[in-house]
Structure 1
Amino acid sequence: MLRSPLTLLPLLLLGLGPALGAQLPVQFGGAVSVDAPLSDLRTDLNDKVGLGTSFQVTVRTGERLSVRPRLDLDLFRVSRYHRPFSNYVQERTFFSAGAGADLLYAFDGTAGNGLYCLAGAGVLQWFQHFTITDHWNHDPDGDYRSDTRKNRVSPWAALGLGYQVNRHLGFETRAVLSQYDRPAAGGLQVPTGEVPTELRKALNVQFAVTGRW
């Protein structure tokens, strides 16, 4: 049985033990990205882009190779709707939390800077989040209700290219493929689990700025 990706953090850190014990070069870091959905995900989101962030640990295992365990969070807004003749605002978002690892290969023979390619794999959990806010008399602290429903746990696979400017700053383009469930009627506007669903493909192209320290 697949676990929630966030519960994999202790295993991820445990896996770094041999690298740390062997005194391999290790850098902690992260990334922020603009996410461009393609395939079924693009259709179901009506071409809306998303935002992503990740925590990463880069372990240099050779002159050209590095292993990079990672935790990811990616968020897409499905819709925002202001009910006519009322103070209610309805918002729906679709997001994923995942864990996995990338294998990085540096073309110029040094993993510290220059052009590199990557391949990765892991597991993620998709969620649907719904909120209703009553902005009575434009009060930002009006009545607020929310509900988060689990969607599908899915394996993910990634390919990408990046450029490490220096030891701390880099840029990366990464395509991530996974799957999710969409209600057969109403699309992502409807909570998963209440109506029959169909399996859909999520292809997410991430344009990221990476940092290491």
Structure 2
Amino acid sequence: MRMRDYHIAVVGATGAAGTELLRVLERRNFPVANLRPLASARSAGKSVRFRGESVPIEKLADRSFDKIDIAFFCTDGDISKKYVPIACQADAIAIDKSSAFRMDAQVPLVIPEINAEDVRRHRGTIANPNCTTTVMLMALYPLHRIFHVRRVFAASYQAVSGSGTRGVEELSRQTKNWVEDQKPSSRRPVSDVTAASPKQRDTLRSEAATVFPHPIAFNLLPHIDSFLDSGYTK
């Protein structure tokens, strides 16, 4: 028996997460009756590809969720905090990929392979865990069912793609400028190519870092988001 077709909105349809979501909906043949891609005013009027057709992007606004059944939010937390309640007021189910509602006890935090049944208790909003958390728990859950894991201490290396398309572009730009500045010979050892000279470090520092607080090329930043009172990052 086929599910009914749904009217779908994708907030942040032009970003990395939104683009991948559209691919997943298409690849899994999700029953979409109508697709409404939503983004900032900068992207309004452009289009996204879905099932072989160009679908025009609309500017995100308060009335964007009229007649929408499911709204996927592939944006940062600030956008979700503002527009998820608006989507719910329009009787849409909001599925949020940001951190905005992950710690809200009234919002089910769902990994389908682990706690899909929690979807039934939603009050209009369903949250997704961080991608690293999802992957880790997929491995830990079978152990938890047997041994009852009480606490886990984990360290992760988050990809710049977690900051969206702008984060990937910033890494690409800084890396390109670094390589062009070095102009390495094909015969030079890899260690010589990747080792940073004072001049090259200065080049990276002078790079415009708009997404990350410091240059990200050939670098590791020991935090994500803002610091909390506990000493951990958000």
| Coarse TM-score class (shorter-chain normalised) | under 0.3
Bigger RCO of structures 1 and 2 (CA < 8 A, at least 6 apart): 1
- Superposition TM-score, scaled by structure 2 size: 0.22
Higher helix share: 2
Greater C-alpha radius of gyration: 2
- Superposition TM-score, scaled by structure 1 size: 0.24
